[in-house]
Amino acid sequence: MKRNIVIATIAAAALVGGGTATALAVTGDDGAPSPRSDGRAASEVRDDDVPDGEDGRDDDAGEVKSPRTTAADALTAALRHTPGTAVSAELDDEDDEDDGDNRADVLTWDIGILDSAGDWHSVHVDPGTGKVLSSHTEHDDDADDAARVRAALKSGSTSAAEAAKAVAAQGTVTSIDLDEDAGSPVWEAETRARSGTEHDWLVDLGTARVTPDRSSDDD
């Protein structure tokens, strides 16, 4: 009732004055301010009104868009923990299988390392702190696999960490992997721009030169 009286008073003042009434804050029966100028109370603002990424996460995967620990730093931390040659790094969910264990997905850097004995190691690094969370050894019976990797790496001096640093100028590096089966071995990298757009790149093992991965355009 009080709201109607106030509105009627303003309307009457406008008619008597012969002009436009100055906008006034209208209060409700309980004296609380009226809703915002767009017609919605603050509590009515929906989550989807907030632009994607402003909360630091990817709405599609619930993942942080820019990890504090870069791919290069994660590779360095993993090699300090497990000596060898790093051949891959991927920002991934540690428990991404739908195995019904009710564990929440934990985002980690998964670093692949080949040691001098020919064993493969998977080292998980926290993308927020840069600390090693866990590691395990994968005994690979295929000695040819390790031999191919070593032969490929001999074709150039650019390490995985150096390749990650080189491609970081293109965006946030989310993965880097050695393609030893290519005619000329290269590092394959994926970056994500601030807009969320992903791009694929190739890094030359000899020169660390970064070029777009045109083969991904066919996918």
**Span 67-109, pLDDT tens digits:** 899 999 999 999 999 999 999 999 987 554 544 444 456 799 9
**Span 24-75, pLDDT tens digits:** 333 444 444 444 434 443 333 333 333 443 333 444 444 445 689 999 999 9
Comparing C-alpha atoms, which of 121, 137, 55, 58 is closest to residue 92? 58
Q: Map 60-126 to HEC letters.
A: CCCEECCCCCCHHHHHHHHHHHCCCEEEEEEEEECCCCCCCCCCCCCEEEEEEEECCCCCEEEEEEC
**Span 104-134, pLDDT tens digits:** 567 999 999 999 988 999 999 999 999 999 9
Question: Could you give the CA distance from residue 7 to residue 52 in angstroms, rounded to a whole number?
Answer: 40
Residue owning tokens 């931390």: 77
